[in-house]
Every structure is written in structure tokens, then in C-alpha cells.
Amino acid sequence: MIPLEWYLILSAVIFCIGLYGVLARRNAIAIMMCLELMMTSITINLVAFWRYGNVIDLSGQVFAVIVFAVAAAEATVGLALAISIYRNRDTIVANDLNLLKW
Amino acid sequence: MTGPQIAFLIISALTVASALLVVTGRNLVRSALWLVVTLFMVAAVFTTLEANFMAVVQIVVYIGAIAILILFAVMLTRKVMNETQPQTNSNWWMGAIVSGVIFVGILLMILSVDMPMRPADDVSGQIVGLGNAFVSPDAFILPFEVASVLLIAALIGGIAIAMPREEES
Amino acid sequence: MNLTLLTWLIPVPPLISFLLIVLVVNRSKALSHTVALTSVIISWIMSWIVAFSAIAQGHHYNEHPIHDHVHWLPTGDTFLNMGVAVDNLSAVLLVFVPLCIVAIFLYSVGYSNFGKHLDDHDLPGSPPHHGIEPLYSRFFAYLSLFAGAMLTLVVADNMLLMFMGWEVMGLCSYLLIGFWYGREYDNPKQTPPRIAAIKAFMTTRVADVFMLLGIAYLYAEAGTLNFRDIFFNEDLMYTLTHEPAVIGAFTIAQLIGLLIFIGTVGKSAQFPLHVWLPDAMEGPTPVSAMIHAAAMVSAGIYSTLRVFPLISNGGGHGANLTMDIITFIGAFTALFGATIAVAQYDVKKVLAYSTISQLGFMVAAIGMSAYVAATFHLMTHAFFKALLFMGSGSIIHGVEHGMHDVHEHIDPQDMRNMGGLRHKMPTTFWTFLIGGFALSGFPFVTAGFWSKDEILGDAWYNGHYIVFTVLCIAAFLTAFYTMRQISLTFFGKPRTESAAHAHENVWTITLPLVVLSFFAIFAGFVGVHAKFPVLGELFGKNPFGHWVELALPEAMIPAHFPFDWFPVIMSIVVGVGGLTLGYLIYGRNPMQSADDVDPVKRLLGPIWTMLENKYYVDEFYYAAFIKPAHWIGETLTFKIIDRGIIDGVIHFVASFFWKAGEGSAAVEQVAIDAPPDRMADGVRWTGDAMKYVQTGRIQNYLMYTVIAIAAIGLMFGFLLA
């Protein structure tokens, strides 16, 4: 049998890879992709805890589905913003967007 | 080392590898395609957990909708960034350190907790249960409905943001 | 059918209709009145199902009445509950209130000229001349809200919910009385609607403050506001009725009862807070019917009936100052209103004062422990007074049509300008006659006779001979002015061209009149005294009385009085006598022209002038309260105290400190300013140095966040390890 820890570690690895990407990438759309990685790592956690806990109680899966919904909403709005910024500023480099600088 | 464990290790290795390629790739289209692979491998992880419904939803929602959406966005915007430019910002090393520290922290936390749980043997009926849980007033109907409102709001917001203004067109 | 659920739903349709009309359908006038009418008809059907299933259960109903509540407001470790209940008293209201409301709604359709084209000369906020009311949808929205509030009040199981309905009705009455807010009069003595609305609102507000005090006092003493929990709890009632209140002469129950009764004085227009009601006639006539018959004034009496166990000090006998005050106010108002009504020319004002007078009858009845009689008169009065108001509206409407046909400018509400409408408007005439006879207490065949007789009988039996006499005089005057009104309006020859050209109204106006006149006759038979010869047996030995009295706990049910011929004969004599006298003076020799002097005016002289001016109460209030308030506000506080004294002192003090300030400014710059200035410099320098953190780049911020999270996580790990 696969120990629960393995799933959790896998999830942590993907989460941290995604986190690195979010912090390091220049392209806003790439940042969005890394965000999706982080979200999906969370669903791994939720489903794994469901599987190793009380399977009758489906809260884990329910929340995983809700994370899907949130991810979809985030992708929609985020990409729309990216396109809109691209259209207005002709760039999608996150570091160029510093209108709120001191 | 049993069969399932070997299968899991292979799947995880593929997942992590493709995730790394997503993060480090210079070509954004390729990155997006590697993202598809990663998400697909996560769906495979779900099947090892016998959460078949979740695996299907993962493929349909993430790969079918989100990843494709990202691909489109990449294609619409790719003329401003080509592969010759640096793909990471000047702070990338700090991001790496912070991520590493957090990973170590999580790892220590996972290892410090005793997890005696064994997976249950019988997971049949989970789809029916899930369906009931979403529409039952004493379960999750409220979060479910809120999620649907959120999606509508995101849909409308996406259209409103991305719609060209009058003076531009 | 789940009756409890149905009871919850009774007030809902009109409220939904209000929202629907306001938010959705207000563009379409036809849809607006369809929504409003449908909603009140649904409420009506539900109310009758609930009420008649309760009544069908007979005497056992009171053991398990419809009652349900939800936790509403947590107050510490208990909850303030909100709920609905139908007991024997509210079942009666559920019978007649929704019926009157439906009739009024239907009537409003015709009254607002539905079906005619919008006249371009009609402005919103003034009465329509010939076309449809410009604010038609808004009118139905207000009426719906009013109906919803009234029904909420009726089914409420506690004082607070009742008070909410009460206040919403207060708001609606303000909105509806001032519905023609743009109307102005040339005659300065006539009150325009917007002033009347403010007057009504402010006057009832004075009373409501006392009522709220009573409710708060009740909650403080009883810990609950639920009627049944209070009145049927013997220990609690014992405490309330035996402990002295903060004011010596009362017990707690009596004082609470008195405070709540003051609310009734305002809402049901009892002396001395009656002044708003006649001016409320400035609203459209369906509103007058709504306010003076079906809803608001009934609500006032209803609330007093509700707290009857408190007012009567647990049904206890002996000296009870509250009851004496109530009886006095009621009897006085009955006579007071009736005398004024005799000298009014405005067809609606007569009815307004008649309403004040009739409400006085009910209040006096409550004061004499005639619980059943008061409820009975409340019901019959609602029927015939709604009928009379709508009849008067029909008359006015008819005369207005005449005015437009002949292009004459007269006051369409002045009875001197009418006459001879009997042939022009037959349906209105006959129904008005029925209503008028019911109001006068025409013996045996009208509802008003039986209920008024019941009150007089109670007064006689309980030994209130003075009250009995006063009420008899009031009843005589009632019959007299009713006959005067009928004669001036319908008999003789038309005194103006407009009256000559008046014609009958559309069916939406006349149908409610016919329906209500049916009830104005037959509603009385349910309450005939059980021992009345022949008729008592025939009508089932007073089923109404036996039903209503069960709303009270057993110990508090007032004694049944034996049948006595004297009050019956008296009420026949005053009723028929008044009608006859009225006919002799006004009907047999009708006034020939609009300028004729009223025959009674010649007889009474200055007394008539006094009556016509309503005993100068409004003028007295103006001189006693409003003028002094103006004087205090304008002359005393503003000119003398504020300008003279306070400003003088302030100026003196200010100039003193000005000098002192100039002196200390020099000291300050050296000694005091320096340290804060250096501190401010420090803050500015730090800010300059730190501002570079704000890069405006999202990823930098995210980095800070993650670093902070990592640090906190490490700290926790360190602490826990």
C-alpha cells in the first residue's frame, strides 16, 4: 500500500515548484500556469485525506470540486486581465506593471 | 516495494518532471503543453487514490478548459515575448530559496506527524454520495451554490474586462 | 392543509405584491392592479380558510390554537421569538379585514379611473381630472404594503411584531394621505394633503412613543412579549396585577395597559389626539376607507382588545383607574365626535367625525369590560363604515363627472352642492342608505343596531348610567347627522348643475358597495343577545359572543348580562328618533339652493359655529403647542438665549483666550514645537528610506508575503518542537 505521506510529499513538491514559478517567472501568463499547479497540488491533498480518512464523509472530494471551481474562475478573470493589460500596455511582463510604485 | 507503489513512484516522477519543465521552459507554448501533461499525471494520481470521478473532472475541467484557455492566452499575447528574452526576473534565486525553505518546512511537518491511517477497502458509491452531498440541504448545497455564483461572476467579469472599449475599436 | 403554514403566509402576498409593483411591473398599470388584487384575494382566501377552520372547531379551539414561532433575536441566553397565532379574537379580524381590503382594492381600480386614457393635464401628485391616476401603480403598491402590514398585525403572536405592523401602517398612512402631495387650496383654512400627512404622522407618533414605552415596560416585567405566554400564565398575571407600578395609583398591568391604550388613542383617533383623522380625508377615498374602516383604526381598537387582560387588571373588579380613564375618553369622544359631525358640510368629514364617535363607542365598551360588544361593534363598524366611505367616494366621483360635463367649479365634496342624487346614482343611493341605517342603528335589520345595542346593554347592566346616557345622546346624534347627510345628498332637487349631471359609476366601484351592504345587514345577526325574544333563539344564541370571549383566559371572561328591555327600547328610540328628526328637518323640506342656511344653524346660532369649527381644537393646539414651540424656538432660544446670552458669553471668553493665545504662541514656538517637529522629521526620513519597499510589482509583494509566512511557520515549528 502507498503511505499517505507519499501523496503529501508529492503535493508539497508540486506546490513548491508552483510557488517558485509564481515568484520567479516574468510572463504573467506563466505565473497563471504556476498558480494552477499550486491549486492542483491542493486537490491532491484533499483527495488523499479523503481516501485515507472516513470515505463515507465526502467533504474532501466536495472541497476538491470547489477548488476546481475557484481555479476555473481565477483562470477566467486572470487571463482576461492579462489580455486587457496586453491590449492597453502592450506588455505582459509582470515587473513592468509598476503603476503603484512609491 | 509493491506494484502500486512502483506505479505511484513512476507517476510522481513524471508529474514532478513535467511540473519543473512548466516552470523552467523558455517557450511558453511548450510550458503550457507541459502543464497539460502535469495535470494529466495528477489525474493519474487520483486514480491511484480510487477517486475516479475526480480524475475525470480533473481532465475535463483542468485540461479541457483551463489549460486550453491558457494556451489561447499564450497565443494571443506571444508576439511581445520571445524566447531570447530572459524568462525569469532578477529575484528568481530568492524565489528558489523561499520555495525550498517552505518545502523543507512542509516536509518536516509531514514527517513529524504520525499517520496511522489505512485506506478504506470499500469506496463504492462515492459518486452517488457526492451527488447527494452537493444537493442535500444539510450537507454542501450552500458552498455548491456559492461556487456556481462565483463562476457566473467570473464569467461576467472576464467578459467585462476583456471586452474592447468603444474608443479603442 | 397545514393551517399553521397558511397563517404564516397570510401577510406575505400583499408584501410580495408591493415589491413586485415597485420593482418590476410598475410600467404597466393593468398589471399593477392585477398583481395587487390577486395578492389580496389570495390573502383573503387563506385568511378565511384559517379563520373558518378555527371557528369550525368551536369551543375546543382555544385549547390548541394555531401558534408557531421562530427564534428571531438572541438576547443573551434566551430568544426573542417572532411568530404567528390565531386565537378567537384574531380569527374575527381575519374574517372581516381581508374582505374589506379586497373590496377597497377593487374599488380603487374604478376610483382611479382605470380604463381611461392618461390626461396630459394631470400631473403626478394631484388628483386626476378626467383620465387615469398618473401614479396608479404607486397607489396600488402603497395599498399592498398597507394590507400586508395590517395582516401582519392581525396574525402576530407578540407585541413587537404587532408594533412593527402598526408602524408600517403608520408609514403607509403618511404616504397615502399625502398621495396627492401637489394639491394646494386657495382657501387657507383647508389643509393640503402634504400637511395633513405630516399631521397624521406626527400625531400618531406622539402616541406610539407611549405605546413603545408600554411594550418595553411589559418586556421588562414579563420577559416575553408573546400574548398567550403572558395572559395564560397565572403566576405572571398575578404578579403583574398585584404589584404596584412605578406610578403609585396603578398596578403594573394597569400602567402597561394605559400606555398601550395611549397608542390606541393616537391610532384610533380618540380625544385629544383625534385631530389628524378629519384632515386625513385629504387622501384618496379608498385610502379613507382603508384607514377608517378596515385597517388602521381597527388596529387601534384591536391592540387595546389584545391587552384587555392587562387593562382590566386580570379581569379583576373594583377600582381600576385605567378602565375609568378609557371609559371616560371613549364616552367623551363618542359624544364629541357626534356633535361635530352634525355641523359639517363636507361629505367625508361627516364620516370622519362619525368614525371618531363610533370608535369612542368601542373604547368606552372596552372600558366597561364589554369585551364582546367592543369586538362586535369593531366588526360591524368596519363593514358599514367602509361601505359609507366608499359610497361617499362614489358620490364625489359622480359629482366630479358632472362638474366636468358642465364645466363648473364647485367643491365636489360639499353636501350643499349636491341633492337629488337618488335618481342619478341608484346603486350608490341604496347601498349608502343601508350603510347609513346600519350606522344609525336602525332596529332589527341592520348590523349596527345589534352591536350598538350590545354596548348600551353592557353599560346599563354594569351600572354606568352616566356613560349610558352619554352614549344614548351620541347614538341619537349619530342617527340625526346620518339622516341629514342622506337627505342633503340624495333627496330634494339638485342644487348645482354638476349634481344634476352626475351619473352612476362603473361596476368596479359599485360592486364593492353591494357586497359590503350585504354584510352591513347580515353581519349583525351572529351577535344577537342570547336571551333576546325570538331572535336570540333564531340566530343561535349569540354564537359570536360565545366564540370571542374565549380569547380571554377563563377567569377573565366578563359576566354575561341578563336581557333587559330598557336599553333595547332606548336604542330603538334614539336610532329611529334621530333618523326621524333628521328627516323632518332636512328630508321633508330639502334645501333649495346651495346658499341656503342650514336649518339647524338658525336654531343653534353660535353653538353651530363652534361645532362647525370643531370646537376650535385645532386652533387651541395651534395656540397652546405650536405657537409656543415657535416662540421658544424663534424668539426665546434663538434671539434671546442663543444670540444674546450664549453668544455674548462666548464672545467674551473668546476674546480673552485670543489675547492669551497670542501671548503663549511666542512661548510655544520655542519650548513646545521643537520636539514634535523633530519627531515629524524623523517620520518623514524613515518614510523616505522605507518607500523603496513599495515597488509596485506584484511578485515582490508576493515574495514578502511568502517570506513572512515561512518565518511564521518556522517560528511555530520552533515553538511547538
Angle C136-155/C296-306 helices, nearest 10 degrees? 10
Q: Say which residue the cell 509531514 belongs to.
A: B110
Contact assignment for A23 to C703 by CB distance below 8 Å: yes
* Chain A residue at shortest CA distance from B82: A27
Q: Which among A15, A23, A44 is the nearest to B98, CB-wise?
A: A23
- Any CB–CB contact under 8 A between B94 and chain C? yes
Q: Which among A23, A97, A99 is the nearest to C706, CB-wise?
A: A23
Specify the pLDDT at position B81: 65
A9 — pLDDT class (breaks 50, 70, 90): very high
Residues B17-38, mean pLDDT to the nearest whole number: 89
Cis omega (within 30 of 0) on the bond before C272? yes
Q: Is the pLDDT of residue B5 over 80?
A: yes
Contact between C15 and C148 under an 8 Å Cβ cutoff? The reply is: yes
**CA–CA separation, C392 and A6 (whole Å):** 88
**CA–CA separation, C269 and B122 (whole Å):** 75
Rounded (10°) CA dihedral C469, C474, C480, C484 = 170
Contact between C306 and C202 under an 8 Å Cβ cutoff? The reply is: no
In the structure grid, which three cell numbers stand for residue C180, read together? 396627492
Dihedral pair phi/psi, residue C715, rounded to 5°: -60, -45
Give residues 134 to 163 of B whose Cβ lies within 8 Å of A. Answer: 134, 139-140, 143-144, 147-148, 150-151, 153-155, 157-159, 161-162
Q: Is the pLDDT of residue B152 over 90?
A: yes
Instruction: Just give the CATH number of B1-81.
Output: 1.20.120.1200
For C446-461, the three-class secondary structure string (H helix, E strand, C coil) is: CHHHHHHHHHHHHHHH
Residue spans of chain C under pLDDT 70 = 1, 76, 293-294, 315-319, 594, 721
Q: Is the pLDDT of residue B169 over 60?
A: no
Average pLDDT, chain B: 85
Specify the pLDDT at position A8: 92
Contact assignment for C699 to B89 by CB distance below 8 Å: yes
- Any CB–CB contact under 8 A between A84 and chain B? yes
Q: Which among B89, B94, B108 is the nearest to C717, CB-wise?
A: B108
Domain stop point among C608, C637, C661: C661
B167 — pLDDT class (breaks 50, 70, 90): low
Specify the pLDDT at position B116: 66
Q: Which amino acid is at A38?
A: M
Contact assignment for C694 to A19 by CB distance below 8 Å: no
**CA–CA separation, C380 and C390 (whole Å):** 15
Residues in CB range of C341: below 8 A, 6 or more apart:
C349, C350, C353, C354, C357, C477, C478, C481
Residues B13-19, mean pLDDT to the nearest whole number: 93
Q: Which amino acid is at C256?
A: I
Q: Say which residue the cell 504556476 belongs to.
A: A34
Dihedral pair phi/psi, residue C673, rounded to 5°: -70, -35
Specify the pLDDT at position A57: 81
Average pLDDT, chain C: 83
State what percent of residues in chain B have pLDDT above 70: 93
What's the CATH number of domain A4-92, 1.20.120.1200, 1.10.287.3510, 3.40.50.300, 1.20.210.10?
A: 1.10.287.3510
pLDDT of C469-508, one tens digit each? 888 889 988 988 888 888 888 887 888 877 778 788 888 8
Domain-by-domain residue ranges, chain B?
1-81, 125-169
Q: Give C412-436 as a DSSP string.
A: TTBGGG---HHHH-HHHHHHHHHHH
**CA–CA separation, C135 and C126 (whole Å):** 9
**CA–CA separation, C310 and C595 (whole Å):** 53
* Alpha helices, H only, chain A: 4-24, 28-52, 59-89
Q: Is the pLDDT of residue A55 over 70?
A: yes
Specify the pLDDT at position B80: 64
State what percent of residues in chain B have pLDDT above 90: 24
Domain stop point among C261, C294, C316: C316
Q: Is the pLDDT of residue A17 over 90?
A: yes
Q: Is the pLDDT of residue B82 over 70?
A: no
Q: Is the pLDDT of residue A76 over 70?
A: yes
**Cβ contacts (< 8 Å) between B91 and chain C: which residues?**
699-700, 703
* Domain around C635: 617-661
Number of domains in chain C: 2
Specify the pLDDT at position B166: 67
Specify the pLDDT at position B83: 66
Rounded (10°) CA dihedral C29, C35, C38, C40 = -100
